[in-house]
Structure 1
Amino acid sequence: MQTDLLQLADEWGPEKVLVVSDTRTGMRGVLVIDNTARGIGKGGTRMSPTVTVAEIARLARTMTWKWAAVDLFHGGAKAGILGDPNSPHKEAILRAFARALRNEVPEEYLFGLDMGLNERDAAVLADELGSLGASTGLPRALGGLPYDQLGVTGFGVAEAADAAAEHIGLKIAGKRVAIQGFGAVGTAAATRFLELGASVVAVATAGGTVSDPNGLDISRLQSLREHFGDDCVREYPAGDLSTDVLSVDADILVPAAREDTISDKVATETSVSLIVEGANLPTSPSSRSILKQRGITVVPDFIANAGGIVAAAHSTDSRNSPFVVNEENVFTMISEKLRANTTQVLQASQEEETTSHEAAFALAADRVREAMALRRRLPFD
């Protein structure tokens, strides 16, 4: 987790970087509160053996832009725990992490779900601090909104894809979709793509890629995932295992796994017309430029995958209420906000001849800068 913390700072943040540890449990973690001009810090908490301070800072910055782009009033933040999410000591580690951040949570930061954490873990974090308002993503039994079960982020990714397809003159019905990652985001996106009339021709997990030009049986693949995890692609009875998902012949590519997956080589060789970023930070500035030059439309991560934070905002708003969140309202808002933001960003990109990421950043940065000015957080003249 070593990094030069001072090198992380720029005009936007971070406002606070807190590295914590606990000798008894072996817990090592980090909280990065990037920018709170528009509200308290909110972003998922991840647990991974490869977590670094720089990674969490990078993701916290993405949250700053994501909240601003979707025009909801939270600030960017992220937390990470260095460790195995399958550890038999996970609960003790989570409790130690929560205790270490008791001065920051929930006044400056709210826990949420990210890679390696689930609803039960959210309940543990909230319980340790004695407040159900300390974490979003709680189980239904505690009044929470089960993001992964509902598939809110993946639903939003498909809605953004549909809006982008309309913008560039495509009808999503009948289009072929390749999805990298078949976790909560990828499975929900696949389901929504089918409802919109598209076919999913390739799915990739850590176990490999399975493809079928005639379309995969997503229900079958989801069932296999429940039993075999990432190896579901190898257990699928009739698919081709010889092709990488990033090189499959498709119309739409959804990177929904990890950061930095769309290399310059992929950008140069891909045959798709549309890339919709379900994961955070799957492309680099250089690969985005290549895609722009090739006329391939890209919906940026903090535009396309903001469905989860819309749901988190609903959950946060209701954390002191005895009433259950209205799930229909959540999906309606996700669809409306993400479709409108996608169209606005792609239109600005076209008019200003910039990449879609540059257009999305300009939209979000203007909103953050205005809030910083009103709260006297800009540099002295």
Structure 2
Amino acid sequence: MSLLEARPAVLTGAAAGIRPALATPLATPLVDARSQLSDAVALLGYPEGLHALLATPRRELTVAVPLRRDDGSTRLFTGYRVQHNFSRGPAKGGLRYSPHVTLDEVRALAMWMTWKCALLDVPYGGAKGGVTIDPREFSLPELERVTRRYTSEILPIIGPEKDIPAPDIGTDERTMAWMMDTYSVNVGYTVPGIVTGKPISLGGSHGRASATSRGVTHVALAALRHRRITPYGATAAVQGFGKVGHDAAVFLADAGVRVIAVSDQYGAVYNERGIDFAGLDAHVAATGRVVGFAGADPLDGDALLELDVDLLVPAAVEGVLHAGNAARVTARVIVEGANGPTSPAADRIFAANGQLVVPDILANAGGVLVSYFEWVQGNQAYWWNAAEVEQKLEERMLAAWQQVVETAASRDLSLRAAATVLAVERVAEAHLLRGLYP
């Protein structure tokens, strides 16, 4: 039986959950991810057996993560690691600490990582991890203990040639240092390649911390030009003022874009003349939030998405653009800094309104691209300077952008459909070339 004909009994039909959108009306990241895959599979004409293989994670691990708190009490958390695909190389994906982490969310994010890596032609498959915890409620020593215990629990399935974690929401380079040390102590020698997004002094790469934001900026400027909007003086709103949104807003402003609104989980601020980021940074450092900044007017967080701007960058969490608000979103160009911010229903509304949506698997791929650079540098024990990293990042991001634009034009597809088709096609080709074992 060929791979194209493969129909594992546990993965076919309704049992596979291949088309969950037909079974439930509830929009979730996993429903959205599988819907996007189903659309690409239909365009490519793949049979159900191959669809099942592409839709189903290769490996999932759920672990208990007990924590001894500073006061001596014990709390128990749940952690996950999902490895969606290995066909093009070891699995790669971030580690998220959030009270909203679920297994289905991690499954969706792992799938999107597979397509992201394939689209950027990075030799990885997709993975994702998470612990259902609010890191703001715990001390630094407590978070270190959570990280080390979680790492110990998933130790059998990670490694520089198996699965390479990286930072995500609620984690940072310090988290990666703890993970690297825990793994290294267990194997008996230092293994810098076990994680990416590490501190530079421990083998991290120049440019990794801002890589996702720089990638978003390169693609956003290209998308504005594609729509014949001059970036200098164009208006923008950025949802999210964290790892991705903060630097993306600053980089866009540095390029001459007038960023008139930004938001975080507490609310938003607005200034028609453009946000003063030096002043806002000082305010956030003092208060921990953008709300209350004297140099801008207060704005409801959800209202930011509906501002009349040339460019909207949703850079917070998934599912913020949906059927309930898409008709009120008027931005000419939407560049997805977050993973999965736009539902399929919203996509259809934006397409009908002639709005350009640059999908997450392209727009925010700068992070995994520089993670790949870090992994390569670590394997060679030879590090590049910041200028080299930035040049390689820009070249790869703009090359991927051009390829997606050309594919969209030649096949009469949206940018999301074109990007997903390109990525799925590459992963499917790897499946076919490798065959099934046994």
- TM-score in terms of structure 1 length: 0.92
Q: What is the CA RMSD across the aligned residues, in angstroms?
A: 2.2
Matches within 5 A, 1:259-298: 259-298=318-357
State whether structure 2 residue 205 is matched by structure 1 residue 145. Answer: yes
Matches within 5 A, 1:82-101: 82-86=132-136, 87-88=138-139, 89-101=142-154
CA distance in 1, matches of 2:402, 2:294: 36
Matches within 5 A, 1:1-381: 7=17, 10-12=52-54, 13-23=56-66, 25=68, 26-86=76-136, 87-88=138-139, 89-106=142-159, 107-130=161-184, 131-145=191-205, 149=209, 151-229=210-288, 231-241=289-299, 244-377=303-436
Q: What's the offset of the Cα at 1:23? A: 4.4
CA distance in 2, matches of 1:316, 1:148: 11
Alpha carbons of structure 1 residues 29 and 5: separation in structure 2 relative to 1, 3 Å: farther
Q: Structure 1: state its 5+ residue gaps.
A: none
Alpha carbons of structure 1 residues 335 and 367: separation in structure 2 relative to 1, 3 Å: same
CA distance in 2, matches of 1:52, 1:17: 12
Alpha carbons of structure 1 residues 220 and 261: separation in structure 2 relative to 1, 3 Å: same
Q: State the aligned residue count.
A: 374
Q: Structure 2: which amino acid aligns with 1:125?
A: M
Q: Structure 2: state its 5+ residue gaps.
A: 1-13, 19-50, 69-75, 185-190
Alpha carbons of structure 1 residues 235 and 69: separation in structure 2 relative to 1, 3 Å: same
Alpha carbons of structure 1 residues 256 and 24: separation in structure 2 relative to 1, 3 Å: closer
The question of whether the paired residues in 1 share the 8 Å contact of 2:267 and 2:290 is answered with no
CA distance in 1, matches of 2:61, 2:321: 31
Q: Structure 2: which amino acid aligns with 1:85?
A: P
- TM-score in terms of structure 2 length: 0.81
Q: What's the offset of the Cα at 1:240? A: 4.0
1:31 is paired with a residue of what secondary structure?
strand
1:43 is paired with a residue of what secondary structure?
strand
The question of whether the paired residues in 1 share the 8 Å contact of 2:291 and 2:298 is answered with no
The question of whether the paired residues in 2 share the 8 Å contact of 1:137 and 1:146 is answered with no
The question of whether the paired residues in 1 share the 8 Å contact of 2:206 and 2:389 is answered with no
The question of whether the paired residues in 1 share the 8 Å contact of 2:269 and 2:290 is answered with no
Q: What's the offset of the Cα at 1:246? A: 0.7
Q: Structure 1: which amino acid aligns with 2:146?
A: I
Alpha carbons of structure 1 residues 327 and 148: separation in structure 2 relative to 1, 3 Å: closer
1:315 is paired with a residue of what secondary structure?
helix
Q: What's the offset of the Cα at 1:84? A: 2.3
Q: What's the offset of the Cα at 1:196? A: 1.7
The question of whether the paired residues in 2 share the 8 Å contact of 1:33 and 1:41 is answered with yes
**Mean CA deviation greater in 160-169 or 253-262:** 160-169
CA distance in 1, matches of 2:349, 2:15: 32
Alpha carbons of structure 1 residues 358 and 27: separation in structure 2 relative to 1, 3 Å: same
- Of all paired residues, the percent bearing the same amino acid is 34
Q: What's the offset of the Cα at 1:132? A: 2.4
Alpha carbons of structure 1 residues 374 and 236: separation in structure 2 relative to 1, 3 Å: farther
The question of whether the paired residues in 2 share the 8 Å contact of 1:315 and 1:325 is answered with no
